[in-house]
Amino acid sequence: MRARIRAGDAAAFGQVFDQHAGAVYRHAVRANGSHAGADDVVSLTFLEAWRIRDTLRPEGGDLRPWLLGIATNVLRNRWRTMRRHRAAMLRLPPADHVPDIADEVAGRIDDAAQLTAAAAALRRLRRTEREVFLLCVWSQLDYAATAEALGVPVGTVRSRLSRARTRLRALAEEEMNRSRAPAEPPARSGPEQGDRAATARSTQEEYR
């Protein structure tokens, strides 16, 4: 299969897509904390894989580490682009009107509270630790396959994963506690304060 892909066999590459597109999609969802953009990551990953097919090593078995390594690079580039976009948006003047999407957002949070907390905790990890955790734990690559995907030594994978697990436990608990924290009670409205003032004036007039 590796030889066929390196030779530009489109049929063989189609088989690889059918076998591994789901794994790439799940990796993108877990990395982003939502399904938004996951299809784009899959498309970009396989386009890039086809473009650099001649760099695929001839020897080896499972192609998943190669594909997830490419997907990781795609995600890095998307995150950089999003950061630049957010920075550009912050430099724009405020809009006159912001649409209210509270109901839609609340529904999504209710359906994916745990995933949201986990994603928030993952985003607080160092990028290198986050990538190792996603590949080893959620995509279930072994140390050697993760090292192949990221282009680092196996020992580096082990140490990064150990640090990631330790930090992630604390961060995830913190995020869940934050999401469960009760909202602060609303401040008293103006009319109530006006009513109390009117009552006080009436009482003073009564005893004059």
**pLDDT at residue 199, as a whole number:** 46
When the pLDDT of each residue in the chain is averaged and rounded to a whole number, the result is: 76
Looking at per-residue confidence, does 58 or 34 come out higher?
58
Nearest Cα neighbor of 147 from 163, 164, 128 is 128
And the tokens for 184? 């602060």
% of the chain beyond a pLDDT of 90 = 27
pLDDT band at 93 (very low <50, low <70, confident <90, very high): low
Cα dihedral across residues 135, 70, 87, 85: positive or negative: negative
**pLDDT at residue 5, as a whole number:** 92
Which letter, b or e, does each residue of 135-161 get, where b requires 16 or more Cβ atoms within 10 Å of its Cβ? bbeebebebebbbbbbeeeeebbeebb
Over 60: is that where the pLDDT of 20 sits?
A: yes
% of the chain beyond a pLDDT of 70 = 68
**pLDDT at residue 111, as a whole number:** 47
List, in order of start, the domains of the chain with CATH numbers: 1-90 (1.10.1740.10), 112-181 (1.10.10.10)
pTM of this prediction? 0.56
Give the tens place of pLDDT for each residue, 110-169: 445 666 777 777 788 888 888 888 888 878 888 998 998 899 999 999 999 988 888 888
Q: Tell me how far apart the alpha carbons of residues 13 and 201 are, in angstroms, rounded to a whole number.
A: 84
Nearest Cα neighbor of 168 from 116, 113, 124 is 124
Under 8 Å CB-to-CB from 158, ≥6 apart: which residues? Answer: 143
